[in-house]
Structure 1
Amino acid sequence: MKPVVGAMQAWSCTVISAFAIIILGILGLLFNAEHPEMVGGEEDPANGHQVAVTVFIAVLIYAGFLVFCGIQGVLHMRESRRGAIAL
């Protein structure tokens, strides 16, 4: 199997996706707990659970990017070990 994207793009996407999963996961947990700093205060009517669901969907999308880009990076490593010429 041949890689679809370049090695630098694959590893950059992997690192950015990992950080996005961590940061969005923390934000999603705070919205789910309806933390006052996230929903605007205790007296404001807010629906933090719906926001948390949306944020967790974004986490799933970034997890898909992480898997895809990680596989692309591994394919580049495997190809370079076989002596392939990188253009």
Structure 2
Amino acid sequence: MKPVVSLLNAWSCAIISLFAIAILSVLGSLYKSEHHGFTGSEGEPEDGGAVAGSIFTAVFVYIAFFVFCSFQAYLHARARRGGAISLS
């Protein structure tokens, strides 16, 4: 297989996705536990579980991005070595 995106784009996407997974997982767990700082005031959502569900859906999307971009970076590394079999 050949890579679809460039090496720089693949690594950038993988790193940004990893940070997004970490940050959104923390936010989702805070909403799921009905943390007072996120659901305690009048302007905040009352159903923290619904908000957490939406955030965890975004986490799964970023996991898919991370897997795809990591695989693209792997394909670039494999192509740089000369393919699956190297005779050097």
TM-score (norm 1): 0.88
* Alpha-carbon offset, residue 40 of structure 1: 3.2
Aligned to 1:53: 53
How far is the alpha carbon of 1:39 from its aligned partner? 1.2
- Could you tell me which runs of 5 or more consecutive residues in structure 1 were left unpaired when the two chains were aligned: none
Q: 5+ unaligned residues in a row in structure 2: which ranges?
A: 84-88
Q: Distance in 2 between matches of 1:66 and 1:55?
A: 16
- 1:11 maps to a residue whose letter is W
Alignment of 1:9 onto 2:9: yes
Structure 1 residues 78 and 39: CA distance shift in structure 2, 3 A: same
Identity of aligned residues (%): 50
What TM-score comes out, normalization by structure 2 length? 0.87
Aligned length in residues = 82
AA of the residue aligned to 1:78? R
Per-residue deviation, residues 7-31 of structure 1 (Å, max 9, x unmatched):
0000000000000000000000000
What is the root-mean-square deviation of aligned Cα atoms in Å?
1.8
